[in-house]
């Protein structure tokens, strides 16, 4: 009887995309229905809660699924703001949504744990060494941009567009193989952290490559799993 009830409830959520609360109290609200009916939002969020440690989800109060102007204006699939994750209702598959949510969870922990992540400058120094490498290799390819542009760790829309439009992420993927986890990780220090955090929790059994190319970042994310480290 109870099994039938649970099955019926899960089926209702999938088919009607009804708002629900997770076992840890996160409110999932559907502003717009998910276009791809094969994406089970409840299972996606449940996987996030089962993989990412609970103390790293403590800033998340609500997840809103839908389409927002920011997605068009900033070319995003998801963003975090004041305790809420805003996630696109247009998703390719289960892992596409899972990746989006985990990525934004990483941004949610930057405020409470920012000093632990960035305070000793080790992650930033590692990031800037990679940026220097990127500058040098692009210079040799004929892209004569000043080094100072590459040594700014903050997000810069003009620099982002330079990488995305002028160079192209496909070319960057080839040039930066074994340097950055992905081309997007090169856009800013915050995205370097977020991309590494996402890699850590989307491929939990395949950390060797990540640990090899970004040892300082990997160490920080590994230590974030232990709440005691955050108090030191």
- Give per-residue pLDDT as tens, 182-225: 999 999 999 999 999 999 999 988 899 999 999 999 999 999 99
Residue by residue, pLDDT tens for the chain (232 residues) are: 555 555 555 555 445 578 999 988 999 999 999 999 999 999 999 999 999 999 999 999 999 999 999 888 878 899 999 999 999 999 999 999 999 999 999 999 999 999 999 999 999 999 999 999 999 999 999 988 899 999 999 998 888 888 888 888 888 889 888 999 999 999 999 999 999 999 999 998 889 999 999 999 999 999 999 877 776 6
Distance CA 169, CA 171 (A): 5
Position 6 scores a pLDDT of 53
pLDDT at 18: 87
Task: Estimate to the nearest angstrom the gap between the alpha carbon of 198 and the chain centroid.
Answer: 5
Tokens 């204006």: give the residue. Answer: 73
Give me the pLDDT at residue 72, please.
87
Give the integer Cα–Cα distance in Å for 61 and 164: 33
The residue with tokens 């089926």 is 11
- In sequence order, the β-bridge partners of residue 29 are 64
pLDDT at 231: 67
CB 116 within 8 A of CB 131: no
Closest CA to 75 of 88, 63, 84: 88
Q: Who's near 158: CB < 8 A, 6+ residues apart?
A: none
Q: ∠193-97-173 over CA atoms, to 5°?
A: 50
């Amino acid at each position: 009887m109870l099994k039938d009830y649970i099955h019926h409830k899960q089926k209702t959520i999938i088919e009607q995309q009804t708002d629900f609360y997770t076992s840890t109290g996160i409110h999932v609200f559907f502003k717009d229905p998910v276009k791809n009916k094969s994406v089970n939002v409840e299972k996606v969020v449940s996987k996030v809660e089962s993989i990412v440690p609970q103390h790293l989800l403590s800033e998340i109060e609500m997840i809103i699924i839908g389409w927002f102007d920011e997605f068009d204006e900033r070319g995003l699939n998801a963003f975090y703001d004041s305790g809420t994750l805003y996630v696109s209702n247009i998703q390719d598959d289960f892992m596409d949504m899972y990746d989006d949510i985990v990525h934004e969870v990483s941004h949610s922990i930057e405020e409470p744990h920012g000093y632990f992540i960035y305070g000793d400058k080790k992650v930033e120094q590692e990031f800037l060494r990679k940026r220097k490498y990127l500058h040098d290799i692009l210079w040799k390819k004929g892209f004569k941009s000043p080094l100072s542009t590459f040594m700014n760790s903050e997000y810069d829309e003009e620099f982002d567009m330079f990488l995305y439009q002028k160079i192209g992420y496909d070319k960057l993927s080839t040039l930066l193989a074994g340097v950055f986890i992905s081309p997007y990780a090169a856009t800013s220090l915050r995205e370097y952290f977020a991309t590494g955090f996402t890699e850590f929790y989307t491929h939990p059994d395949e950390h060797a490559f990540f640990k090899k190319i970004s040892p300082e970042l990997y160490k920080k994310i590994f230590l974030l799993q232990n709440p005691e480290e955050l108090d030191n």
